[in-house]
C-alpha cells in the first residue's frame, strides 16, 4: 500500500463516520494541529489527517517524542500517518552546464 492509498483510505474512513475533514470544527478550543514540542503547525494533507480526530487540544507528538519525555502509549493504540515530502537534490551526478548556469537533477522524496 503506498502513501496515496493510505491517505485516501483515512479520508474515506472519516467521511463514512460522518466527519468532513476539511470543515472547520465548531469548537473554539480546537486550533490547527501542531507539534507539541516544536510548536510548528502541520501543513498540507496533514491538517486534514490530524484535524479529523477532533481532540480537545490540537497538539500531537511522535512516538519517539513521547518516550523521550517520559510518556507512554496505551497498548493497542494506533498512530496517524503523517506525510513528509521534500526535493532531493542529487549532487552525486555530474552537473550539466546550460549556458552559464549549472542545472542539477532533483527528485521529490515522499515518506509517511
Around Cβ 102, how many Cβ atoms within 10 Å?
A: 10
Q: Which residues does residue 101 pair with via DSSP β-bridges, in sequence order?
A: 98
Report the alpha-carbon distance of residue 31 to residue 39 in Å, rounded. Answer: 12
pTM, to two decimals: 0.60
Domain that holds residue 35: 3-111
Domains identified in the chain, total number = 1
Digit-coded pLDDT (tens) for 40-68: 999 988 988 888 777 778 899 989 999 99
pLDDT for 97:
56
Amino acid at each position: 500500500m503506498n502513501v496515496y492509498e493510505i491517505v485516501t483510505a483515512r479520508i474515506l474512513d472519516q467521511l463514512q463516520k460522518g466527519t468532513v475533514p476539511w470543515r472547520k470544527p465548531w469548537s473554539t478550543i480546537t486550533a490547527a494541529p501542531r507539534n507539541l514540542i516544536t510548536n510548528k503547525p502541520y501543513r498540507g494533507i496533514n491538517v486534514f489527517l490530524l484535524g479529523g480526530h477532533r481532540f480537545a487540544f490540537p497538539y500531537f507528538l511522535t512516538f519517539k517524542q513521547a518516550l523521550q519525555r517520559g510518556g507512554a502509549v496505551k497498548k493497542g493504540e494506533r498512530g496517524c500517518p503523517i506525510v513528509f515530502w521534500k526535493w532531493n537534490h542529487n549532487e552525486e551526478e555530474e552537473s550539466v552546464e546550460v549556458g552559464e548556469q549549472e542545472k542539477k537533477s532533483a527528485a521529490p522524496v515522499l515518506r509517511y
